[in-house]
Structure 1
Amino acid sequence: MNKVTVGEGTRVHLNFSISLEDGSEVDTNFGDESVSFVVGDGSLLPGFERLLFGMSPGERQMFVVSPENAFGQPNDDNVQTVSRDQFDDDIDLQIGLVYAFNDAGGGELPGMIISFDDDEVSVDFNHPLSGRTILFDVLIHRVEPAELH
């Protein structure tokens, strides 16, 4: 019987951690139950998903993921100026504050306050990890054919 490896049409059970180059951990599920996803379901960024192809259960690898294959480069067009009166008076604006804005589809879009005065607020809608090289540590527990629904 052939061992199933990570690829199209598979469900993958894994533990992972995401860290920055300075070693600071951004997210991890090591120490907890493994998580699972189906390759191509959108749970994992494509740049991370492709790294797992060919891995087998029991394998652990550390990958260095460039910004282009992770969260992209910051885009100046994603920094917007919003009128100060768009914010409630009781909001204590601070540089670095992440504020949830409503998008056109009725969902929420987080933006980080990068500067403000009495009239205007500059908001950065880039992903907080854009422009960053990511260290992706992954341990594959199980790989199985995905059930198609």
Structure 2
Amino acid sequence: MSELTVTADSRIVVQLVLTLSDGSVAESTKANNKPALLTLGDQSLSPKLEAQLLGLTVGSQHKFSLAAEDAFGASNPDLVQYFSRQAFLEAGEPEVGTIMLFSAIDGSEMPGIVREISGDSVTVDFNHPLAGQDITFEIEIIDINPVLEEQNENLTG
């Protein structure tokens, strides 16, 4: 039996450490030992990130760097919005650096980061928190195409 490898439609369980260009760690699943589940081919990952994962096998460790536009995208000024402080009455007083959920027109929820509070104006950034950052990825493949709990239920039901 051949060893499983990551393909263009794989679901993979990974331990990862994301490091910014200044050397600070932006994200680490190893810190709390909670591996991440990534899905290739669903447009949630950038094409260059997916390309780095293809062909890896369980136990593979891979370290690589991606420029901002190839990692989480460039920061888009159109995704920075301004709100009246009154819009936050129900949610409570906003604080700079807080991530809050906002309802989009279609009813979905989008996370936004409060960037600035000035008088009655609250600036909220809907860019990915790592947008605009060059990122070094350290990834270890834990599992490929794991059987998820809901799939088990489907098999028995």
TM-score range, shorter chain: 0.7 to 0.9
In structure 1, how many angstroms separate the alpha carbons of the residues matched to 2:39 and 2:99? 31
In structure 2, how many angstroms separate the alpha carbons of the residues matched to 1:29 and 1:136? 12
Q: Is the 8 A contact 1:82 1:122 kept in 2?
A: yes
Q: How many pairs are equivalent? A: 148
Matches within 5 A, 1:86-125: 86-88=87-89, 91-125=92-126
What percent of counterpart residues are identical? 33
Partner of 2:30: 30
In structure 2, how many angstroms separate the alpha carbons of the residues matched to 1:80 and 1:5? 42
Partner SS for 2:112: strand
Deviations 1:10-39 (A, max 9, x none): 443432222222232222223736555553
Matches within 5 A, 1:124-135: 124-135=125-136
Q: Give the letter aligned to residue 54 of structure 1.
A: G
Q: Give the letter aligned to residue 79 of structure 1.
A: V
Query: In terms of mean alpha carbon deviation, does 90-99 or 50-59 score higher?
Result: 90-99
Distance apart, 1:90 and its partner CA: 7.9
- TM-score (norm: length of structure 2): 0.73
Structure 1 vs Structure 2 CA RMSD: 3.1
Q: Is the 8 A contact 1:10 1:145 kept in 2?
A: no
Q: Give the letter aligned to residue 110 of structure 1.
A: P
Distance apart, 1:145 and its partner CA: 9.4
In structure 1, how many angstroms separate the alpha carbons of the residues matched to 2:37 and 2:118? 45
Deviations 1:68-117 (A, max 9, x none): 12111111111112222212078333333333221123232222223333
Check 1:137–1:106 CA distance in 2 against 1; reply closer, same or farther (3 A cut): same
Q: Give the letter aligned to residue 51 of structure 1.
A: Q
- TM-score (norm: length of structure 1): 0.76
Q: Give the letter aligned to residue 139 of structure 1.
A: E
Q: Which runs of 5+ in 2 are unaligned?
A: none
Distance apart, 1:144 and its partner CA: 5.8
Relative to total residues, which structure has the larger helix share, 1 or 2?
A: 2
> Is 2:14 the counterpart of 1:14?
yes
Q: Which runs of 5+ in 1 are unaligned?
A: none
Q: Is the 8 A contact 1:9 1:145 kept in 2?
A: no
Distance apart, 1:51 and its partner CA: 0.9
Check 1:43–1:72 CA distance in 2 against 1; reply closer, same or farther (3 A cut): closer
Q: Give the letter aligned to residue 6 of structure 1.
A: V
Query: In terms of mean alpha carbon deviation, does 13-22 or 130-139 score higher?
Result: 13-22
